[in-house]
Chains A and B, each alone.
Chain A
Amino acid sequence: MTGREVIASLIRDKTCPERMGLFEDFWDDTQAAWELEGLPRDVDLHDYFNYDLQFIDGDGLNTEAFVDGGRRIAEDDETYTELNGWGARMRYWKHKPGTPEHLSFDLTNEAVWQAKYREPLLAFDIRRLGDLETKRANYRKVMSSGRFAVWTNLLHFEIMRKAMGDIIMLEAMCLNPAWIRDFCDVVTENIIRHLDALFTEVGLPDGMWLFEDMGYTQGPFVSPAMYRDLILPYHTRVIDFVHGRGIPVVMHACGKVTPLLPYIEQAGIDCLEVLEAKAGQHVVTMSESIGRRIAFMGNLDIRAFESNDPKQLEAEIVPKLAAVRAKRIPFVFHSDHSMPRTVRLKTYESALELFRKYGRY
């Protein structure tokens, strides 16, 4: 079976083919570190590790209010500061991965939203699709690779976080839920309109990968009731649109999202990724807690990889794959986080050997 067939079976059909799927995501500096450990220079990791899935393009749509509003406004040896298309200033590392520092936000209340940022999101803007020639070239390349090809995009929590930051967003959910609903409604229509154009201008993918971090280690950012009332209707609309084009949906959600599972399931996703183990989540428990059959990707504790200890690695991977196999859960082998440079290449290769040995149904 090709990678596309394996993932389609798992995610689209929710059936278990001959083996589990294989995919991984990496921090930006991991490949360079692994080249010092013997990885051939500049290889495509999808080819080298024979992954089953690939992002056509990591950028997604431009979902900021002002498409051309982003620019670098300061830098030093270690970091740079960007003003984004929401008027927010964020500081990033130059030479290593990590979350940005939130420095300031312009979008602090509904009045600013109405006066400045709502209007630009209402119109269709071809620039939101990005460089179409590059996207077409990437699309042709990935679609011809035999791998399951996905477009990616952000969803509402991620977009709000870039627009107004965590504190303003979370406070507004209590103080002005009508504003949050209006924000999500406008963003939803913007996403659907521009995804539709992307599918028409470039092509339909095998799947849609939606980024939506909704929790931290101890729990979701918001209560299940708040998710149901303020976010679920908009998740559902985006997913319904994608399904309407015959495309299954993978949702990436960091943190402990278990309390939200009934509603995430209701939103219609086909696969949930990344199932952080350090948040106390286990793929089998999660699978058994929901009524509908969906696929899962991730859940292999990155701390076991980072130990670079074969025994710890085996103790994490082998029983989990055995449990997945016993329950016949559609599953894609993936860490519960992006692979950092602190994991040795040899460790990762050992993990893949365990996958090849125990990752069959």
Chain B
Amino acid sequence: MVVNGRTDASSPYPPELIGQEGCDELTRKALEAGVPPTDILNQGLVRGMKTVGDRFREGEIFLPEVLMAARALTAGLAHLQPLLRSGALKSRGTIVIGTVAGDLHDIGKRIVSLFFEGGGWNVVDLGVDVPAGRFITAIEKHQPFAVGLSTLLTTTMASMERVAREIKFRYPAVKVVVGGAPITAKFAAQIGADAWSPDPQGALDYLNSLLP
């Protein structure tokens, strides 16, 4: 149902599934039936979002369909939140994400955040125009596994470099993943970032590959 973007039985989307249950009802029923929450998360919601990410990367689906999938995912995750908060169900780790100083662009980072959350990660979104100091403070507070840096403009690539170098200098173990319209693998390597991806699923796959 994540793949179809079906949130709940009252949703008008997708038209061909009107009247059918969505992630909301199915997650609730799975919990009531005694399916382990870890299976619901990893074999259901996360796997569904992975399919969405792969299809998005291949150009088979587009942003509206991704947003519908994210809504469906959120409806399912709502039932698991109490378990995540209590520690009965563990996230894969924390990712701090933000658009670097000098850039107010938000949507790319928000889409990437949706994929990270859909991949079972806890996301701390610092917003836009974030200077290096705020990333450092957030790292100290949240002890993330990785930091995601975004920028839309060529003119703020230098800002991304400053932030990336500062993070890697102070916290070499924290993975730095970069993305955005003007960013390339070559530039990512030049600024000392650990990874670059042109699409959200690529970044997620990279982080997941580092987990034991």
Contact = CB atoms under 8 A, between A and B. Distances in A.
Given A91-B104, A218-B199, A342 B155 contact: yes
B12 A175 contact: yes
Interface residues of B, number: 33
A222 B181 contact: no
Contact of B154 (A101, A216, A221, A306): A306
Interface of A: 27, 79, 91-93, 96-102, 166-167, 170-171, 173-176, 216-223, 226, 259, 278-279, 302-303, 306, 337, 340-342
Given A217-B198, A340-B155, A278 B12 contact: no
Interface of B: 5, 11-14, 59, 61-65, 67-68, 71, 102-108, 110, 128-129, 152-156, 181-182, 198-199
A259 B61 CA distance: 12
Contact of A259 (B11, B59, B102, B110): B59
Given A167-B67, A217-B198, A342-B154, A93 B62 contact: no
A218 B55 CA distance: 13
Contacts of B13: 174-175
A216 to B, nearest CB: 7
Contacts of A175: 11-13, 68
Contact of A171 (B67, B153, B155, B182): B67
B107 A98 contact: no
Contact of B63 (A99, A221, A278): A221
A176 B102 CA distance: 35
B155 A222 contact: no
B107 A166 contact: yes
Given A174-B65, A174-B68, A218-B199, A93 B154 contact: no
25 contacts: A92-B104, A93-B104, A97-B155, A98-B103, A98-B155, A99-B105, A101-B129, A102-B106, A102-B107, A167-B107, A173-B64, A174-B14, A175-B12, A175-B13, A176-B12, A216-B108, A218-B198, A218-B199, A220-B62, A226-B62, A226-B64, A279-B181, A302-B154, A303-B154, A340-B154
Counting from the closest, the 7 A-B pairs by CB-CB distance are: A101-B104, A217-B181, A170-B64, A223-B62, A166-B107, A174-B13, A174-B64
Given A102-B106, A167-B107, A219 B155 contact: no
A48 B153 CA distance: 27
A101 B109 CA distance: 12
Contact of B106 (A101, A223, A226, A302): A101
Given A98-B105, A175-B12, A222-B62, 18 more contacts: A79-B104, A91-B104, A98-B102, A100-B104, A166-B107, A170-B67, A174-B13, A174-B65, A174-B67, A175-B68, A217-B181, A220-B62, A223-B65, A278-B181, A278-B182, A302-B154, A303-B182, A340-B155
